[in-house]
Structure 1
Amino acid sequence: MANAFKTSGGEPFYLLQDTSLRQTFGSLIGRIAHSHWFDVSELREFEQPQGSCVDHPSTWEVDPLKIACVLRLADAVHIDHRRAPTYLHAFRKPTGVSRDHWYFQERLTRPRVAGDRLEFTATRPFGREEAAAWWLAYETITTIDNELRRVDALCADLGRPRFAVRSVAGADSPERLALYIRTDRWEPLDARLRVTDPTQLIANLGGKDLYGNEPEVAVRELIANASDATKARRTHEGASSAVTIRLWHETDNWWLEVEDYGIGMSPETMVTALTDFGHSRWQAADMQADFPGLLAKGFQPTGRFGIGFFAVFMVADEVAVRSLAYDEAPRSTHVLEFTNGVGSRPLLRQADLHERLRNSGTVVRLKLRHDPRSVEGMFKTTNKSLSHTDLLHSRLINMCALAEVDIRAQGPDDPQPVMIIQADDWTRISYAELFRRVYRRDEASYLDRIIYEGYEKLFAEQAEDLYDDSGRIVGRAMLATGYEAVHPDLRWMRLPRAQIYIGGLKADRFDYCMGAFIGLLLTADRLRSFPSASIEEFQRWLESQGATIQKNLQLPRIDLRFIGDLLRQFDAQGLTLACAISSQGLINHAQLREWATRRDTVLLVSNSSILWRERQAQPPQFYTFDGVDASILDDMLLVSLNPGWEFPEEIRPAPRDERFADAVDSSSDWNPRAWWYDTGNFGSVGLVVRTVADVWGMDVVTAVNTMETLILQAAGDSRPTIPTNDGAGVRVTAIRMRRPAGPTP
C-alpha cells in the first residue's frame, strides 16, 4: 500500500491523488521506475500489456514495456546543453569528473535525427586541455548507442513496433565521432591499455608464471573459493557446512573434486566469475545486491583478485563446474564445462537430471593430467610409502591447518568423507597437536623425524599466542634460530620456518620462527604475506620470546646474540639480550652503559671482520678467517654495521632519521651521516650508538656528526689493526666515537 505524505498542517496527500489511478497503476509505476537500473534483457518482465482503468475505455490499455524503454532512452540521450546551463556552472563550480561532464554537456547541441540515427554536434571544438571531457563524451555516447541498439533488438525479438531511432552516429569509433564533435589540434586515437591475446595472458598469469612450479596451489585456490562461498552463506543465514575434497581413480584417469554448500552461483555469475580474468565476484554489484550487508556483517573473502580459479589449469585441461544459486530450485543447476583449458570456449548448459544439486553450492571437478603422487603430479612427490589416500589427507591437513570452515577429505580408500579439520579449531588444540598439523612428518626421513620430535617438545614449552585488538588469536608461534639443542647428538642446520595462512590456507613461510600465523596478503598469488598481528602486538610477542629464550641454559650464547639482533631488526628493544661483543664477551644494554662509562673512545667494529666463539667460564676466543688467534682491543665492540630490516616495506618501511636527509654517500668515501640516515639508526648498532651517546651526555645528532669512519678507500687505509698470534695483525672496518671534552653530566 502506498505511503501518504503529510502537509505542514498534518493533512495526508499522495503524489498520485486520484484513488482509482493510484490503485490501478501505483504498483506498475513503481516497477517501471525501478527498471531504470535493470539490464535491457530484464525488461522482458514488462512484455504483457496491462488492461485499462475501470473508469477508462477498454482500448486505453497500457504497454509497460514501451513506457520503460521510452523513459530509459529519454534519460540516456539527455546529455546536451539543456542539462548543463552556463549560468548554473558559475554557482556550482564543479570539479574533477563532474567538471568534465559539465564541459562536454554544455557544449553539445540538441541532437538531431538523421534517418534511424541520432547525431550529436558541438558548438565549438574541444582543445587539448579539454581532451578528458571529449573522451567522457565519447564514452557516454557509446553507452547511449548500446542502449538504443539493445532496446531495438528487444523490440524486434518480441515482435513489437521498433523505435524510429536505433543508434548514434559516430559511436563506433573515436575518429568517426570527431566528424560530429570536433577536436582542436589533437587526434582522438583510442590509446587505452588493452590485451591483444587474452587467452595467452590468462594461460600465463593464471598458472606457472604467477604461482611458479607449485601445482598444489590449484587445490588451494579451489578450497579458498569454496571456503569463501561457505563463509558467505554462514554470515548471511548462520548455517555452517563443510568443504569436501575428493580424489579417485577411474578408467585410467585421476579425478579431483571440491564441493561446497555455500551461496552458489547463477549462470550469469558462473560466466563472469569463472571466465573473466581479474573479476572478483565479492566486489561485484550483483553480489552486493543479492546479499546486501554481507561485507558489513564481517565477511572477509580470501579471494579478492578474481584470478584464483585459473590455477586449476596448471593441473587439468578438462574442468566442469556445477552450481546452484542460493534460494533456487534444483532444476536451476547449471554446468560450465572447459574441455581444453583456456584454449577453447567453455560451454554453459543446464544440468542434466542426475547432475542437479539438491542444495545451493558448487562442485568443481578436474580430470588431472598426471597421477597426483608423481613428480609431474599435483602433489609433486617421489615418496611411495604413502597411499594416495594418506597423501591426500596429509597434504590437506597441512594446507588447511587454520581453516575457517570444516574440511573433509575422501581418498580412494575412504568409504566416505573424513573430517580432517574443524573450523577454527587451531586456536583450541594443544601446541603439540598444532605442531604436528603444521609440520607433517608423513613424508619425512628418519633424521628429520628425530629433529621434529625434539622441536615439538620445545614448541610445546616455548610457543606463545598472539592476539588482535578484539582478543582473537592470530598466531601461535615461537622464535627459533635453527641451532637449538633438540637432540644430544644433532644440531639442525636448516632454519625452521613458521607457516603463514590466508583465509585459513597455507600461503607463505616466515623465517626464524616455528608455528602458525594468520597473515596479511601482500600479493595476488597469496605467496607473499606477513603476520596480521599489529606491530605493537608482534613486538610484545618478540620481547616475551626473547625473555623465554634467555632462560634456556642449553642455548649457545651465539644464539642469544642472534636473537637480540633479530628482535631489533623488528624494531623491538630486547634490552636484556646481547647487543654487542666486547673483549670479555657478550654485553647487553645495562652492561653496555657500564662499559661505556669507563671509556672515552669506542670503536664499533664490523662483526664480519673477525670471527669468535665462546668458551666455558672464559673470555671468547677471537680468530681471523685464516684461523689465526686474535685479540680485540679493550675499546672495541663487535656489532653488525649493516643490520637487516625484517618488516616488508608494505607493512613498515625501514626507518630513516630525517635529521640527516641531506646526507649523500659518495662512491669513494663512507659518510657516517648518510649511513646513519639509511642504515645505522636501527638494529643492534642503533641501540649501541644511542646508548653510548646517552652515557656520554651527547645528543644523537652530535654523536653522528663527530663519528669517524675507519675504512679502506682511495685516499688510504685508515682501518685499525687487531693483534694476532702470528704478529701480522688483521685490519678491520670500524666507526670511531669519541667522548666530548669536558665533565660528564
Structure 2
Amino acid sequence: MHGFEQTPLWRHTLAPQSTDDPEREPREHLRSAYLQFRSTVEPLAAEISRSMPMFTDHSITHVDALWDTASLICGESFPLNAAEAFVLGGAFLLHDLGMGLASYSGGLTAIENDPQFDDLMASALARLRRTDPSARGAALERSAREQTVADLLRLRHAEQAERLVATTFTTSDGEGFYLLQDVVLRQTFGSMIGRIAHSHWFDVSDLRAFEQPQGSCIDHPTSWEVDPLKIACVLRLADAAHVDQRRASPYLHAFRKPTGTSHDHWYFQERLTRPRVQADRLVYTATRPFGRDEAAAWWLAYEVIRTIDNELRRVDALCADLDRPRFAVRSVAGADSPARLALYIRTDLWEPLDARLRVSDATQLIANLGGKDLYGNKPEVAIRELVANAADATRARRVHEGDYGGAATIRLSSEDGEWWLTVEDHGIGMAPETMVTALTDFGHSRWLASDMLNDFPGLLGKGFQPTGRFGIGFFAVFMIADQVEVRSLGYDEAPRSTHVLEFRHGVTGRPMLRQADFHERLRNSGTLVRLKLREAPRTEEGLFQTTNRRLSETELLHSRMTRLCALSDVDIKVQGPDDSQPVRIIQADDWRRISRSELFRRVYRREEASHLDRVVYDGYEKVFIDRARDLHDPDGNLIGRAMMASGWEIIHPDLRWMQPPEASIYVGGLYADEIKFCMGVFCGYPLTADRLRAFPLADSAEFRRWLEAQADSVGEGKWSDPVDLWYAGYLARGLDASAPRLPCAQSTRGQLNAHELREWLQGRGEVLLVAGASVNWFGQAGRSTQFFTFEGIGVEIPDHALIVGLNPAWFYPEEVRPRPRDERFVDAVEPPSGWDARTWWYDTGNFGSVGLVVRTIAELWEIDIVEAVNLMEPLAMQDDCDHRPLLETADGAGLHVTAIRMRRPGTDDIGESR
C-alpha cells in the first residue's frame, strides 16, 4: 500500500468503504484505474529531474504528497465524491509532467521549434553577456541554450500537461499506449483532467472558466457529478502549499549541488516539516533555526509562504463569491510579517526585519526619476523618448510582418493660445491592459513582458532590439506637460477597439482609461501621444530653450528633429504650425548612403548657428568630406561615419579659445551623447538607463583600426598643423591606439613621433620629462617649436628635455574599458605627501603618449619597465620642499616646472654614458 492511500482524502473517496457500500463497484473501478494511471506516469515523472536538475522534487513522491497536503487544506468535511477524487488525482499526476523533455513526442526538437525559443535564446545570451562581458563562443551558446530549454519547459509545462491524456506513447516494440489506459474514463474525464492540470498555472480569476459542473458518468451514481472549479482549487492550493522536506531531500541536494536561488529553494524546503493545521491556518515549522549565513534562504521561505497565503485567501474569496464549498484552511500563520513568521520558523543570532528596498511615495519617485532629476533640464529628451517608443513600435511591426515602412510623425501646433505636441506611429499598438501596465508601471518594459512574447513570437529571435528597455522613458513627458493623452489601437484590432489613457494632472492624479469616442478612433493600429506643453516652445523653459526670433517654431522643429533623429531606421516626419501636412525629414537608414556633405549638414545644423559658427562649420565640412571614414561591426554593418578632429584644423589662431568639436553618438537612431575630438556620427549603446551616456558600438579592434587610419590621414593631411597633430595623438592614444605617425612629445627640435623619438634618444643617457601643463608652446609646420610661460614670456627648454603630458586622458568610460594598469605595481602606495613614480605609473603613466615615451626609453636603454620606473626621479613639490627644476626665461625670472628625471644606468652626473 502506498502512503497516500492513508490520507483522509483518499480514504473518504477512493478507498474501500463499508462492506455494504452501494457504490463499491464504480469506486473499485476508479481506484484501479487511478493506480494504473499512477504506475504509468511514475517513470515519466522521474524524467523531470533530468531536464530540470536544479529544481526541487517533481517526481511521483511530490504527486503522492499532494494527497496529504490537500487533505489538510480541505479538512474532514469537504464534499468530494469518488469521481471528483479520481479527476483530482489525475490532475495531480499530470500537472508537472511537462517540465520533462520526455513528455514531448518531439523531444528537444519540439522545444527548439517553439515560437518563443529564439526570443528566449536572444534574451538569455544578452543576460549572460551582461553577467560576464568576456563570455564568448560555444560555451556561451551552450549555456544560453540550456537556460532557454529550462525556461521554455517551465513556461510550457502546464499547457503540455493538458495534452498528455490524449497523447499516444510507444513502447520499444512499437505498441502504442495512453497514460490513462481505461477508454471510458479517458473519454469521460480525460479532457477535464488535462484542463484542470493546466489550470494550476492560471491566475485565480481565470478559474471561473470551470464554473459549470459536469454530469456524472453513465456508469456512476447520479450524485457523482464533477465540479471542475472545486477540483482546480484543490489542485492549485495543494501544489502551492507543498513546500517541505519531501520536496528537497538532503541526499539529492548533495548530488545535484544547486546554486543561486535554486540552492536557497532546496535549503529552506529541506528544513520545513510537514505543515499542521491550527484553526483555519496552515502552520509551517522548521527542524532548526536559520543562521546568519542562511538568511537568504529564510527570506525566500517567507516570500513563498506569503504566496501560499495569498493563494489561500484569493481562492477562499472566489469560492465564497460563487457559492462553492469553503476550505478548512484559509491562510498561513506568520505570513503577515517576518517577525511573526520567525515565531514558527526561527532565526539564530539575527532579526528578520523587513529591510527590503521600498518606495514609500511612488508618485514622488516617478515625478523625480521620470523627470528633471533623471534627465536634467533637457526638455528635448521628452520628445526623444516619445519618438523612441514610436520607432520601437514601428520597428516591431516591420520585424513581425517582414515588410512594413511606417513612419513616426511629430506635430507641433498652437490651439487657442495653447501649444500641443503630438507623436504618432502606426506600429503594433497596445491593447488596453498593455497601455495600463506599459504607461503606469514605472520600470516595466513592455518589450520584455511575457504577453508581448506571446502575442508577437519571434521578435527578439529575429533581431528586434528595442531602444526603450527600462520602462521609464514615457514618464519624461511630465517634464514638459501635465495634461497627456494616449490613444492606441492594438494590432489586428478594429477601430472601435481604440482606447484612451488620460493623465489630466501629471503623475499626481489617477489616470483614466476609457474607450475612444468616435472622432478619436485610430483607423490603423498604432499609438498617438498628445500633450499640452506647460511652456511655450520658444522660451528659456520651453521645448526649444531659446528666445532666438530668427527662426520660427516650424523651422526650429525641423532643425531640432533632424539632428535628434539623424540615424533613425524608421521614417521621421514633422509638421509645424506653418506646414500644411507632415514633411519627411529622415528616410529610414538613409544616413548610411547619403553623401558626407549631407550627413555633416544634418548633424551640425547651420540654421541656428551664429555667423562665426557657420564659418567654422563651412570649414569643417570640407575636412569631413576629405577625412571621414566608415566603421563596421563584425557582420559588416555600417555603424559609424566620422573623423578625428582636434578643433584647430581650420580655426584662425585668434579663435583657438573655441571648444574642440564633438561627434554625436546615437542609440536606436536617436541622439544620446557625444565624444570629444571627433566629428561625425557613431551608432552606440547606452551606458545608463536615461541614455544620456553612451559609447560607440564598434569593438576595440575596429575602433583601433579606425583610429590608426585617422592618425595616418591626420599626419599626412593638408589640413594638419602641429597643434592639430598634437591633439590627434592625444585623442588616439587616449583610446589605446599606437598612432606611430602622430607626435608623442615636444623637443627643442620640434614635435617627435615614435620614429623621431627613437632617433632623438640615440646616445642620450639622461632625459628630463617636463609636464606639458607647466609650459605653453606654439609650433608651425616646418619650423622649430617655441616655448612660453602662460604669461607669454619665452622659456629656454634644455636640449635633453621632452615636453609630455604626464597625466594623459583615458577616453573610454570605465564601465566599457577600464584604464590599463600595470599590475606589477599594484602594491605601490601613494605617500602622504608628494609624488611617487610607482603609483603614478600604475594608475596613469603607463598609457597615452607618455606611456609610449617611457617604453621607448626602456627599450633603447635595454632595461625593463620595472627598472625604468625605479629610475624615475620625481622633480616636484615634495614635503613642502620645491624640487622642481628652474628653466631660464626671457625676463630672467625663471620658471619652475614639474618634471621626471631619468638617467640610464652607468651614466655620469652630466648625462654621458661611461
Fold conserved (TM > 0.5)?
Answer: yes
> 1 or 2, which has the higher strand percentage?
1
Which residue type is aligned with residue 359 of structure 2?
V
The 1:76–1:657 alpha-carbon spacing in structure 2 relative to 1, beyond 3 Å, is: same
Which residue type is aligned with residue 547 of structure 2?
T
Residue of 210, 223, 236 corresponding to 1:72:
236
Matched, 1:147 2:318: no
In the alignment, what sits opposite 2:745? 580
Distance 1:220 1:616 in 2: 45
In the alignment, what sits opposite 2:633? 468
In the alignment, what sits opposite 1:654? 819
Distance 2:878 2:251 in 1: 72
Which residue type is aligned with residue 615 of structure 2?
I
Whether the aligned pair in 1 keeps the contact of 2:647 and 2:724 (CA below 8 Å) is no
After superposition, the C-alpha distances for 1:554-587 in whole angstroms (9 at most, x for unaligned) are: 4321221221122111111111111111111111
After superposition, the C-alpha distances for 1:196-247 in whole angstroms (9 at most, x for unaligned) are: 1111111111111111111111111111112112222222222422112222
Matched, 1:711 2:881: no
What does 1:590-601 correspond to in 2, within 5 Å?
590-601=755-766
Whether the aligned pair in 1 keeps the contact of 2:237 and 2:312 (CA below 8 Å) is yes
**In the TM superposition, what is the alpha-carbon distance from 1:454 to its structure 2 partner?**
1.9
Which residue type is aligned with residue 17 of structure 1?
Q
What does 1:251-270 correspond to in 2, within 5 Å?
251-270=416-435
Q: Look up the SS of the partner of 2:430 in the other structure.
A: coil
In the alignment, what sits opposite 1:611? 776
**In the TM superposition, what is the alpha-carbon distance from 1:730 to its structure 2 partner?**
2.7
Q: Look up the SS of the partner of 1:179 in the other structure.
A: coil
Residue of 177, 181, 203 corresponding to 2:367:
203
Whether the aligned pair in 1 keeps the contact of 2:633 and 2:639 (CA below 8 Å) is yes
Higher alpha-carbon deviation: 196-205 or 19-28: 19-28
In the alignment, what sits opposite 1:232? 396
In the alignment, what sits opposite 1:412? 577
Whether the aligned pair in 2 keeps the contact of 1:319 and 1:366 (CA below 8 Å) is yes
Whether the aligned pair in 1 keeps the contact of 2:390 and 2:408 (CA below 8 Å) is yes
After superposition, the C-alpha distances for 1:527-550 in whole angstroms (9 at most, x for unaligned) are: 111111111111111111121122
Which residue type is aligned with residue 552 of structure 1?
G
The 1:129–1:575 alpha-carbon spacing in structure 2 relative to 1, beyond 3 Å, is: closer
**In the TM superposition, what is the alpha-carbon distance from 1:594 to its structure 2 partner?**
1.1
Which residue type is aligned with residue 712 of structure 2?
A
Whether the aligned pair in 2 keeps the contact of 1:20 and 1:53 (CA below 8 Å) is no
TM-score relative to the length of structure 2: 0.77
In the alignment, what sits opposite 1:283? 448
**Percent identity for Structure 1 against Structure 2:** 69
Which residue type is aligned with residue 473 of structure 1?
L
What does 1:326-725 correspond to in 2, within 5 Å?
326-485=491-650, 493-614=658-779, 617-714=782-879, 716-725=881-890
Whether the aligned pair in 1 keeps the contact of 2:616 and 2:650 (CA below 8 Å) is no
**In the TM superposition, what is the alpha-carbon distance from 1:110 to its structure 2 partner?**
3.0
Whether the aligned pair in 2 keeps the contact of 1:454 and 1:487 (CA below 8 Å) is no
Which residue type is aligned with residue 335 of structure 1?
V
Q: Look up the SS of the partner of 2:683 in the other structure.
A: strand
Q: Look up the SS of the partner of 1:131 in the other structure.
A: helix
Q: Look up the SS of the partner of 2:835 in the other structure.
A: coil
Distance 1:129 1:591 in 2: 62
Higher alpha-carbon deviation: 604-613 or 498-507: 604-613
After superposition, the C-alpha distances for 1:146-166 in whole angstroms (9 at most, x for unaligned) are: 111222222333344433432
Q: Which runs of 5+ in 2 are unaligned?
A: 1-162
**In the TM superposition, what is the alpha-carbon distance from 1:130 to its structure 2 partner?**
3.9
**In the TM superposition, what is the alpha-carbon distance from 1:67 to its structure 2 partner?**
2.4
Q: Look up the SS of the partner of 1:303 in the other structure.
A: coil
Distance 1:600 1:608 in 2: 25
Q: Which runs of 5+ in 1 are unaligned?
A: none
Higher alpha-carbon deviation: 13-22 or 257-266: 13-22
Q: Look up the SS of the partner of 2:695 in the other structure.
A: strand
Q: What is the Cα-based RMSD across aligned positions, in Å?
A: 2.6
In the alignment, what sits opposite 2:45? none
TM-score relative to the length of structure 1: 0.94
Distance 1:106 1:417 in 2: 66
The 1:364–1:125 alpha-carbon spacing in structure 2 relative to 1, beyond 3 Å, is: same
The 1:251–1:57 alpha-carbon spacing in structure 2 relative to 1, beyond 3 Å, is: farther
The 1:723–1:129 alpha-carbon spacing in structure 2 relative to 1, beyond 3 Å, is: closer
Distance 1:182 1:629 in 2: 80
The 1:17–1:695 alpha-carbon spacing in structure 2 relative to 1, beyond 3 Å, is: same
Which residue type is aligned with residue 291 of structure 1?
F
Which residue type is aligned with residue 724 of structure 2?
D
Distance 2:884 2:457 in 1: 69
Whether the aligned pair in 2 keeps the contact of 1:485 and 1:491 (CA below 8 Å) is no
Whether the aligned pair in 1 keeps the contact of 2:722 and 2:781 (CA below 8 Å) is no
Distance 2:339 2:360 in 1: 21
Q: Look up the SS of the partner of 2:797 in the other structure.
A: coil
Higher alpha-carbon deviation: 628-637 or 137-146: 628-637
Whether the aligned pair in 1 keeps the contact of 2:721 and 2:780 (CA below 8 Å) is no
**In the TM superposition, what is the alpha-carbon distance from 1:655 to its structure 2 partner?**
0.9
In the alignment, what sits opposite 2:329? 165
Distance 1:681 1:493 in 2: 30
In the alignment, what sits opposite 2:473? 308
Matched, 1:245 2:410: yes
Residue of 317, 323, 327 corresponding to 2:488:
323
In the alignment, what sits opposite 2:182? 18
**In the TM superposition, what is the alpha-carbon distance from 1:94 to its structure 2 partner?**
4.7
The 1:392–1:48 alpha-carbon spacing in structure 2 relative to 1, beyond 3 Å, is: farther
Which residue type is aligned with residue 216 of structure 1?
E
Residue of 101, 104, 114 corresponding to 2:265:
101
Higher alpha-carbon deviation: 24-33 or 220-229: 24-33
* Aligned residues between the structures: 745
**In the TM superposition, what is the alpha-carbon distance from 1:739 to its structure 2 partner?**
2.6
**In the TM superposition, what is the alpha-carbon distance from 1:625 to its structure 2 partner?**
3.0
Distance 1:732 1:188 in 2: 61
Q: Look up the SS of the partner of 1:602 in the other structure.
A: strand
Higher alpha-carbon deviation: 115-124 or 235-244: 115-124
In the alignment, what sits opposite 1:216? 380
Which residue type is aligned with residue 400 of structure 2?
H
Which residue type is aligned with residue 388 of structure 1?
E
The 1:128–1:635 alpha-carbon spacing in structure 2 relative to 1, beyond 3 Å, is: closer
What does 1:108-147 correspond to in 2, within 5 Å?
108-147=272-311
The 1:225–1:433 alpha-carbon spacing in structure 2 relative to 1, beyond 3 Å, is: same
Higher alpha-carbon deviation: 283-292 or 134-143: 283-292
**In the TM superposition, what is the alpha-carbon distance from 1:282 to its structure 2 partner?**
2.2
Higher alpha-carbon deviation: 364-373 or 729-738: 729-738
Distance 1:589 1:724 in 2: 29
Which residue type is aligned with residue 253 of structure 1?
E
In the alignment, what sits opposite 1:741? 906
Higher alpha-carbon deviation: 688-697 or 57-66: 57-66
Matched, 1:32 2:196: yes
**In the TM superposition, what is the alpha-carbon distance from 1:434 to its structure 2 partner?**
0.8
After superposition, the C-alpha distances for 1:509-540 in whole angstroms (9 at most, x for unaligned) are: 11111111111211111111111111111111
Higher alpha-carbon deviation: 647-656 or 416-425: 416-425
Residue of 464, 478, 481 corresponding to 1:299:
464
The 1:248–1:63 alpha-carbon spacing in structure 2 relative to 1, beyond 3 Å, is: farther
Distance 1:216 1:157 in 2: 51
**In the TM superposition, what is the alpha-carbon distance from 1:711 to its structure 2 partner?**
2.4
Which residue type is aligned with residue 97 of structure 1?
T
